[in-house]
Amino acid sequence: MATQRPSYLVQIRDLRFARGERVIFDGVDLDIPRGRITAIMGPSGVGKTTLLHLMGGRLRPDAGKILVDGQDVPSLSRAALYRLRRRMGMLFQTGALFTDLDVFENVAFPLREHTRLPEPMVRDLVLLKLEAVGLRGARNLMPSELSGGMARRVALARAVALDPMMIMYDEPFTGQDPITVGVIMRLIRRLNDAQGLTSVVVSHDVEEVTAIADLIYMISGGKVVEAGSPQTLQRSASPWVRQFISGAPDGPVPFHYPAPDLARDLLEG
Amino acid sequence: MRPLRDFVNAGLDRLQRMGRAALAMFQRLGRGHLFLLQVLAGMPAVLRRPGQIVAQLRFVGAHSALIILVSGLNVGMVLALQGYYSLVDFGAEESLGPMVALGLLRELGPVVTALLFAGRAGSGLAAEIGLMKTTEQLAGMEMMAVDPVERVIAPRFLAGVLSMPLLAAMFSLAGVVGGYFVGVGLLGVDGGVFWSQMQAKVDFHGDLVNGLVKSLVFGVVATWIAVFEGYDAAPTTEGVGRATTRTVVHTSFAVLGLDFVLTALMFGE
């Protein structure tokens, strides 16, 4: 496709990032297609959330390019970065709702900050967004009165309040009951398709991700180890990917933390 | 040779630790000053939203008023009692009015108010901001293209700075009333003498204005420490706890140390 608009919304090239001595990303290449749901998977602590923060410009990489809609995020000025962020939504693991505002005001927050819409229009927009996540009736509740799943849905309504071009989900299924997981899965799909969004889902929940993602990237040891559709990944030859998908306790990722031989350890005591 | 080498090594280790601690301290100090600049840069944006300032004045200032009034009343009463016993030996009890007023306006009003402020409002600010950071509310705001320093920190800072002189004035007022109650009401000092002496001896510029300047300086320092500790807190339960403790301790030291310097500058010959 040789159009001006590249078919990839996010392009990451040779990304390197370290926290002190610890190398998190050691040459990551990633392409996130427009209008699709792309999942980034990997074990806990591999830096999946860090990757979202790098894409949102909250962290600076040590080297490499992060292009979002053609703009190199690390080299943007503050004002340009803030302009870009208005078109990116992010759903935090905790929801990150403002605890001093009720549900309605939480969803209205980005509208009030970035637009000068008259009050009746703000009200209509907020109610429509809340309707989309099924919580129009909960508009007067405070965040402390919501369940974890409801808080995430409110946060989702807030994240799409400005009709962004993309939305990033940080572990959207973690710690939720099966019904809520189903609701969130359907919402991610529906928002993606109905609003023409590009979705990036960071998660380690294999079953849920393979059910909704169009494309999956597997990250381990600071690198992308496998990429492809859920079906390709199921057939992957990589023993690491097979262990991750099947959840086998032992394999390339060992069950034991490195330790000397057990017999010798016991005798030395 | 070996004990000597161990001894030298232990000494070097200690030196290294001291060096590292000193570096960390200076780094924090530097971060604190840069942070203050950032907050000041956010001031114009705050002034465009007076509603924000009023809300914070209510939280930081108005909610501290009761403890300030009660403490002021008590301090004034004790001051009159102790002053009376010293003055009466010289037959100088008619100086009780100016003694109480000067003690309050020059020293006790600004200093005790700042210490109470650190315990009541400062610790509250640090905990609130620290928790907003821990629950990703600040990060969420940043991802919604809203600068948390402008939106959250700057209005709280301004409210703290404005509140302090007002609270100190209330403290001194309550103290004078308490002094009058004990001196004139209980100990029988002549009421007319109490007031007229006070009017004659208290200088508008030398005492009242200098006292206000003091409390304004304390307001800047106390609020700066509180918002910085909250913003710089490690995003954990322990981190927030440490931030609140540090707010009270550092503010107390800073206020008492600065008080000496300011007194030497203002009231020296």
Inter-chain CB proximity B147 and A82 less than 8 Å = yes
For the residues of B12-76, what is the DSSP string, one character each? HHHHHHHHHHHHHHHHHHHHHHHHHHHHHHTHHHHHT-HHHHHHHIIIIIGGGHHHHHHHHHHHH
State yes or no: pLDDT of A4 exceeds 60: no
Query: From CA A232, how far away is CA B2, in angstroms rounded?
Result: 63
For the segment A120-165, what is each residue's pLDDT rounded down to a tens digit? 999 999 999 898 888 888 889 999 998 888 888 899 899 888 888 9
Q: Is B208 exposed, middle or buried (0-12, 13-18, 19+ CB in 10 A)?
A: middle
For the segment A96-115, what is each residue's pLDDT rounded down to a tens digit? 899 888 999 999 999 988 88
Across chain A, mean pLDDT equals 86
Q: Is B119 exposed, middle or buried (0-12, 13-18, 19+ CB in 10 A)?
A: middle
Give me the pLDDT at residue A1, please: 42
Give me the pLDDT at residue A211, please: 87
Biggest alpha carbon–alpha carbon distance for chain B: 84
Query: From CA B175, how far away is CA B108, in angstroms rounded?
Result: 9
Mean pLDDT for A232-242 is 80
Distance of residue B246 Cα from the nearest chain A Cα, in angstroms:
24
Distance of residue B135 Cα from the nearest chain A Cα, in angstroms:
6
Query: From CA A98, how far away is CA B70, in angstroms rounded?
Result: 34
Residue A246: alpha-carbon gap to chain centroid: 22
Nearest residue in chain B measured CA to CA from A112: B146
Going through A120-243 in order, the beta strands assigned E by DSSP cover 166-170, 198-203, 215-220, 223-228
Distance of residue B136 Cα from the nearest chain A Cα, in angstroms:
5
Query: From CA A102, how far away is CA A106, in angstroms rounded?
Result: 6
State yes or no: pLDDT of A253 exceeds 80: no
**B252 closest CA partner among B129, B89, B117, B139:** B117
Distance of residue B8 Cα from the nearest chain A Cα, in angstroms:
28
**A221 closest CA partner among A27, A32, A64, A31:** A27
What percent of chain A is predicted at pLDDT more than 90? 14
Distance of residue B59 Cα from the nearest chain A Cα, in angstroms:
12
Residue B258: alpha-carbon gap to chain centroid: 11
Give me the pLDDT at residue B206, please: 83
Query: From CA A147, how far away is CA B250, in angstroms rounded?
Result: 39
H/E segment holding residue A66: strand A63-68
Q: Is B231 exposed, middle or buried (0-12, 13-18, 19+ CB in 10 A)?
A: buried
Question: Is the dihedral angle over the CA atoms B70, B73, B76, B80 positive or is it negative?
Answer: negative
For the residues of A23-59, what is the DSSP string, one character each? EEEEEEEEEEETTSEEEEE--TTSSHHHHHHHHTTSS
Q: Write the DSSP symbol of residue A151.
A: H
Query: From CA A164, how far away is CA A197, in angstroms rounded?
Result: 7
Give me the pLDDT at residue B170, please: 94
Give me the pLDDT at residue A22, please: 84
CB A89, CB A160: distance < 8 Å: yes
State yes or no: pLDDT of A255 exceeds 80: no
* Phi, psi dihedral angles at A89 (to 5 degrees): -105, 150
Inter-chain CB proximity A93 and B142 less than 8 Å = no
Give me the pLDDT at residue B253, please: 95
Taking the Cβ of residue A60 and every Cβ of chain B, the question of whether any pair is shorter than 8 Å is answered with: no
Mean pLDDT for A34-40 is 90
Q: Is B2 exposed, middle or buried (0-12, 13-18, 19+ CB in 10 A)?
A: exposed
**A111 closest CA partner among A154, A156, A160:** A160
CA atoms within 13 Å, Cβ hemisphere of B46 = 24
Taking the Cβ of residue A114 and every Cβ of chain B, the question of whether any pair is shorter than 8 Å is answered with: yes
H/E segment holding residue A17: strand A8-19
Interface test with B, best of A86, A115, A116, A200 (most B CBs within 10 A): A86
Query: From CA A208, how far away is CA A41, in angstroms rounded?
Result: 11
Taking the Cβ of residue A83 and every Cβ of chain B, the question of whether any pair is shorter than 8 Å is answered with: yes
pLDDT tens-place values along chain B, 269 residues long: 678 888 889 999 999 999 999 999 999 999 999 999 999 998 888 888 888 899 999 988 888 899 999 999 999 999 999 999 988 888 888 888 899 999 999 889 999 999 999 999 999 999 999 999 998 899 989 888 889 998 899 999 999 999 999 999 999 999 999 999 999 989 888 889 889 988 888 888 888 898 999 999 999 999 999 999 999 999 899 999 999 999 999 999 999 999 999 988 887 65
Inter-chain CB proximity B145 and A56 less than 8 Å = no
Report the SS3 class of residue A216: strand
Rounded to a whole number of angstroms, the CA Rg of chain A reads: 20
Tokens of B89: 């030996």
Helices (H), ranges, B50-153: 50-56, 65-88, 96-102, 109-117, 123-134, 137-143, 148
CB B161, CB B225: distance < 8 Å: no
Nearest residue in chain B measured CA to CA from A54: B143
ipTM, 2 dp: 0.81
For the segment A186-201, what is each residue's pLDDT rounded down to a tens digit? 888 988 888 888 999 9
* Phi, psi dihedral angles at A45 (to 5 degrees): 80, 5
Inter-chain CB proximity B144 and A96 less than 8 Å = no
Inter-chain CB proximity B136 and A94 less than 8 Å = yes
Chain B neighbors of A113, CB-CB under 8 A: 144-146, 151
Q: Closest CB to B139: pick one of A86, A96, A114.
A: A96
Give me the pLDDT at residue B268, please: 66
State yes or no: pLDDT of A2 exceeds 80: no
Q: Write the DSSP symbol of residue A135.
A: -
Give me the pLDDT at residue B69, please: 95
Query: From CA A194, how far away is CA B99, in angstroms rounded?
Result: 76
CB A21, CB A27: distance < 8 Å: no
Interface test with B, best of A68, A84, A100, A115 (most B CBs within 10 A): A100
Poorest-pLDDT segment among A39-48, A250-259, B4-13: A250-259
Inter-chain CB proximity B139 and A109 less than 8 Å = no
H/E segment holding residue A64: strand A63-68
CB A40, CB A67: distance < 8 Å: no
Give me the pLDDT at residue A5, please: 61
Give me the pLDDT at residue B269, please: 56
Taking the Cβ of residue A77 and every Cβ of chain B, the question of whether any pair is shorter than 8 Å is answered with: no
Inter-chain CB proximity B143 and A82 less than 8 Å = no
